[in-house]
Chain A
Amino acid sequence: MNFFTLGKTLLSTSLFVFLSFPVHCAHAETAEERGLAIFMEADKRDEGFGDYTANMTMTLKNKQGKESTRRIRSKTLEVQGDGDKSLSIFDTPRDVKGTAFLSFSHKKGDDEQWLYLPALKRVKRINSRNKSGSFMGSEFAYEDIASQEVEKYTYRFLREEEYNEKPCYVVESYPVDKKNSGYTKRISWLDTDEYRLLKVEFYDRKKSLLKTLSIHEYQQYLDRYWRADRMSMLNHQTGKSTTLSWDNYSFRTGLTDKDFNSTSLKRVR
């Protein structure tokens, strides 16, 4: 439920306009190398944000158009040399108000995750390998909202093409943890100017198209970091969809490791 890391790496960025150069000119670069280079560049452009907080509204919609919303506040801390730490606090639905999810993502090995249940004042460890499970009944799986560390996938460059009137790189990626992922592959569209993720298609274990994620309304923060205001995940097999809308992004708020431990987890509001 690392919403913000979804913000962070899925949706990467830059202000160095000239940087597509190293990706293009390498000689005898394989499609795999080029795909990896694109994602490494996207990751690199998002380095150094420090920390940020934001609010999210998640709207679930079924085939008949019935809607249900959840309000979630989130805090993310960049960790040098490893995946981010993040904390998500649920404000609604009211029966889960105050429930909090703490996640330490790792470049290598399993992420660490805990759930805080306010009625019992109980901290429960969660197994992060259940990554293909639905997050809060939404069309987002845990692995979609977890920190998208470059190391968690292998890549293959497909082509360049226009998407939404922007020139894009189209890259396939395959989960390293094939056993627990719900996907055989993802196809991602990143714009060539800013390396922002604009669209992702997810293919299920039977290799058929399962979901499409579209990412809209990017805003730039601190003159460098791009974050989207809206993302929609459509499940082609069930007709259900989930939209995430963000507001109140605030960068470098002074968060530290101490805001992401079991003691602070028990006093979240």
Chain B
Amino acid sequence: MSARLRPKTLHTVAIIVPVLLFLLADNGLSLEVNGEVSVQGLIFLENGAWPHQANQVLSGAGRIQLFHELQENLHLSLEAFQRIDSEDTERSHGDLRLAEAIYFTDAMEIHVGIGRVFWGATEFVHLVDIINQTDQVEAIDGEEKLGQPMLHLTVPRDWGVVEAFVLPWFRERPFPGENGRFRTPLPVSTEQATYESAAGQHHTDLAIRYSTILGNADIGLYYFNGTARNPVLLLSQSTGLSPFLFPYYEQIGQTGLDLQMTAGNWLLKAESYYRTGQSRSYAATTFGFEYTLVGIADSMMDLGLIGEYVYDDRDDGWLPSIYQNDIMGGLRLAVNDMDDSSILLGIIHDLPHGSTMLAVEASRRLGDSVRINLDASFFFDMDKMDPAASLSRDDSIQLELIWYW
């Protein structure tokens, strides 16, 4: 198994999937198949800051989801994804997002295979979500994740839910290639990844989580022990080779907490973690609110106001993070029309450096099964000391059409 699905693996998947489909259909078993096909056009308003970066990108992606109920309490689920990008070979990538069997009784639930788990509460930064690796080339917001091989046991009780995870294989983070945008000044060579653990990608990571509902609050508390999902990027300067960055994955212990609660008309959210193992221990936290104005201006439209703050105590410059001391604001307009039109406006402002990122996302349905998304991101006053400074010339507008079938 390779870290990322190489074309050969994809071909295998492409052959196996229809065969499986056929066999299941032939046996008269119920199989649910659906998916999506999308095209994306991306235009950058300036030339890239680094050589070879493209200004216009066209890409297409496909996703297939299979679901089969073997028995009432034994489900099989598969989801495969593939993108082809006109410019960046690293962004042309495929991934088996899901390939799992789920068995459950009233007392417990077991997932075996490649799965996806989300932990967290806030809207802008996802600090505590750690089980799945971030698919960095798919989306810069960190919400796209790679499938993670796991054994996942869930025990729901009246006093809360206990979950245990055994993660036997590590997924490396994909990074944009030399032609890609939204990247570090030097490209990251993922092939040169190194590990603190001698076991490398074979290191078995473990996690345990407890979550419960207390009054108006949903609370989750976990401990994770294993390979950090976000690597340290190190500089390689061998003679005769152009310099490049390579990922170094350390072993960490992380205690995380997430909270979402209602307080009157407010929704309050918070995430925090404390991490050991990356030379010095540190903590990070993000918290904020969401408040919805219902039926604004005598219309059916709702306007959500979001305010959040993130702090990372590596603020001293050691191992810098993009989100070290930032304030975020968002407006989410839900038109509540037939086409579920919505507009999201988000601003992230770095307090010590003054750098500001602005994102606009507009979306609506076209007919019954097509959605059109218009996204734009702009970067202002990017301070050279800010780790996000390498994005300063990546102002862009993206149009995407997704057909669901």
Interface residues of A (CB under 8 A from B): 60, 62, 66, 68, 92-97, 110, 112, 114, 120-130, 132-134, 136-137, 180, 182, 256, 258, 261-263, 267, 269
Q: Does B192 contact A (CB under 8 A)?
A: no
A93 engages B369 (CB within 8 Å): yes
Closest to A180 in B: B265
Minimum Cβ distance to chain A for residue B153 (Å): 11
Q: Once the chains are docked, how many angstroms separate the CA of A128 from the CA of B294?
A: 12
**Which residues of B have CB within 8 Å of A182?**
294-295
**Which residues of A have CB within 8 Å of B377?**
none
B336 engages A95 (CB within 8 Å): no
Q: Knowing A121-B117, A125-B262, A269-B67 touch, does A92 contact B368 (C-beta < 8 A)?
A: yes
B336 engages A133 (CB within 8 Å): yes
Q: Provide 12 A-B residue pairs closer than 8 Å at the C-beta atoms, listed in order of the A residue.
A: A60-B338, A62-B338, A92-B368, A93-B340, A95-B371, A112-B213, A112-B216, A122-B120, A129-B264, A133-B292, A133-B302, A182-B294
SS class of chain B's interface: helix, strand, loop or mixed?
Answer: strand
A95 engages B404 (CB within 8 Å): yes
**Which residues of B have CB within 8 Å of A128?**
262
Q: Once the chains are docked, how many angstroms separate the CA of A269 from the CA of B32?
A: 10
Minimum Cβ distance to chain B for residue A45 (Å): 32
A95 engages B369 (CB within 8 Å): yes
Q: Knowing A121-B117, A127-B266 touch, does A137 contact B260 (C-beta < 8 A)?
A: no
A263 engages B161 (CB within 8 Å): yes
Q: Knowing A127-B267, A263-B161 touch, does A66 contact B338 (C-beta < 8 A)?
A: yes
Minimum Cβ distance to chain A for residue B35 (Å): 10
Minimum Cβ distance to chain B for residue A208 (Å): 12
Closest to A263 in B: B156
A263 engages B267 (CB within 8 Å): no
CB contact between A137 and one of B34, B67, B161, B338 (< 8 Å): that residue:
B338
Q: Once the chains are docked, how many angstroms separate the CA of A127 from the CA of B265?
A: 7
SS class of chain A's interface: helix, strand, loop or mixed?
Answer: loop
Minimum Cβ distance to chain B for residue A20 (Å): 38
**Which residues of B have CB within 8 Å of A125?**
218, 260-262, 267
Q: Does B59 contact A (CB under 8 A)?
A: no
Minimum Cβ distance to chain B for residue A99 (Å): 11
**Which residues of B have CB within 8 Å of A97?**
34, 404
Count contacts on B: residues with CB < 8 A to the other chain. Answer: 47
Q: Which of B104-143 contact A (CB under 8 A)?
A: 104, 106, 109, 116-118, 120, 143
Q: Knowing A68-B338, A97-B404, A137-B336 touch, does A132 contact B368 (C-beta < 8 A)?
A: no
B292 engages A127 (CB within 8 Å): yes
Minimum Cβ distance to chain B for residue A121 (Å): 5
**The 7 nearest A-B residue pairs measured at CB:** A94-B404, A134-B336, A68-B338, A133-B294, A263-B156, A122-B118, A125-B260
Q: Does B204 contact A (CB under 8 A)?
A: no
Among the interface residues B32, B67, B156, B211, which one has the most CB atoms of the partner chain A within 10 A? B156
Q: Once the chains are docked, how many angstroms separate the CA of A269 from the CA of B337?
A: 26
Q: Per-residue CB proximity of B7-36 to A under 8 Å, as 1/0?
A: 000000000000000000000000010100
B292 engages A130 (CB within 8 Å): yes
Q: Once the chains are docked, how many angstroms separate the CA of A96 from the CA of B342?
A: 14
CB contact between A262 and one of B161, B295, B335 (< 8 Å): that residue:
B161
Q: Does B86 contact A (CB under 8 A)?
A: no
B368 engages A93 (CB within 8 Å): yes
Minimum Cβ distance to chain B for residue A200 (Å): 19
B365 engages A121 (CB within 8 Å): no
B340 engages A137 (CB within 8 Å): yes
**Which residues of B have CB within 8 Å of A92?**
368
Minimum Cβ distance to chain B for residue A143 (Å): 11
**Which residues of B have CB within 8 Å of A66?**
338
Among the interface residues B262, B266, B267, B338, which one has the most CB atoms of the partner chain A within 10 A? B338
Q: Once the chains are docked, how many angstroms separate the CA of A263 from the CA of B266?
A: 25
**Which residues of A have CB within 8 Å of B404?**
93-95, 97
Q: Knowing A66-B338, A94-B34 touch, does A267 contact B102 (C-beta < 8 A)?
A: yes
Minimum Cβ distance to chain A for residue B75 (Å): 7
Q: Once the chains are docked, how many angstroms separate the CA of A137 from the CA of B340?
A: 7
Q: Once the chains are docked, how many angstroms separate the CA of A261 from the CA of B109?
A: 13
Q: Does B154 contact A (CB under 8 A)?
A: yes
Q: Which of B268-296 contact A (CB under 8 A)?
A: 290, 292, 294-295
B75 engages A267 (CB within 8 Å): yes
A267 engages B109 (CB within 8 Å): yes
B300 engages A134 (CB within 8 Å): yes
Q: Once the chains are docked, how many angstroms separate the CA of A221 from the CA of B308?
A: 50
**Which residues of B have CB within 8 Å of A93?**
340, 365, 368-369, 404
B143 engages A120 (CB within 8 Å): yes
Q: Knowing A120-B118, A127-B266 touch, does A263 contact B109 (C-beta < 8 A)?
A: yes
Q: Once the chains are docked, how many angstroms separate the CA of A94 from the CA of B339?
A: 12
Q: A262-B156, A262-B161, A262-B211 are in contact. List 8 more A-B contacts (CB 8 A).
A: A93-B368, A95-B404, A128-B262, A129-B262, A133-B336, A137-B337, A137-B338, A137-B340
**Which residues of A have CB within 8 Å of B262?**
110, 125, 127-129
Closest to A262 in B: B161
Q: Knowing A93-B368, A132-B294, A261-B156 touch, does A267 contact B336 (C-beta < 8 A)?
A: no
Q: Per-residue CB proximity of B229-260 to A under 8 Å, as 1/0?
A: 00000000000000000000000000000001
Q: Once the chains are docked, how many angstroms separate the CA of A93 from the CA of B403?
A: 12
